[in-house]
Amino acid sequence: MSPLDLENIFKGIWWRAQNEPSLEGLTPELIAGWARDKGLADPVATARDVGAFNPTPGIVLEVGGQKACFPRISSEGDASLNVRRKVRDDEALLWEKLEWFAPLWLPRGKIREVVAAVQHCTKERAIELFDYHTSTLYTLAFQAVCIAQIMPQARSLKEIVPLTRIP
């Protein structure tokens, strides 16, 4: 069976799970049974938490080396997910104000420091503070590689880009 066919079967199982009265009622036996009903040979389903930082209870189905995870909690009814989503959405709005994205190479503590500094500022002041904070976080060589070559057109970096151009 091709990976695309298996993916479609996994999607079908997920749609069936969403039609259940509650995702909390999902069991490994139920998911494995649905997989067998779809013609999959030797499905292995296990109940376990999935996710590195904020584990979600789920059922992991493995068939022929391919895995699918079916959460046992709805995204709409999970209070902790809603809180985390709001925090990330607020952070995204602040990064949008900076015409930027959250730099993946910065530790979370440093990102929070930059975000906290611009939270209640105008866009222009936020960009000035961002410029200040980036100058304290990076060496010039690191800026050249990670910033100027990735986002050379960003207005918030217009003063730094000429300095970091490599001939």
- Count CA atoms within 13 Å of residue 31 on its CB side: 29
Structure confidence by residue, pLDDT tens digits, 5-45? 899 999 999 999 999 999 999 999 999 999 999 999 999 99
Question: How many angstroms separate the CA atoms of 79 and 132, rounded?
Answer: 36
User: What average pLDDT does this structure show over 102-114?
Assistant: 67
pLDDT of residue 54: 82
Residue 76, pLDDT > 80, answer no
Residues 6 or more apart whose Cβ sits within 8 Å of residue 75:
81
Q: What is the percentage of the chain residues whose pLDDT exceeds 70? A: 75
What is the residue whose two structure tokens read 């999902």? 26
Q: How many CB atoms lie within 10 A of CB 129?
A: 16
Q: Which of 38, 37, 45 minimizes the C-alpha distance to 6? A: 38
Structure confidence by residue, pLDDT tens digits, 122-150? 888 887 877 777 666 666 666 666 665 66
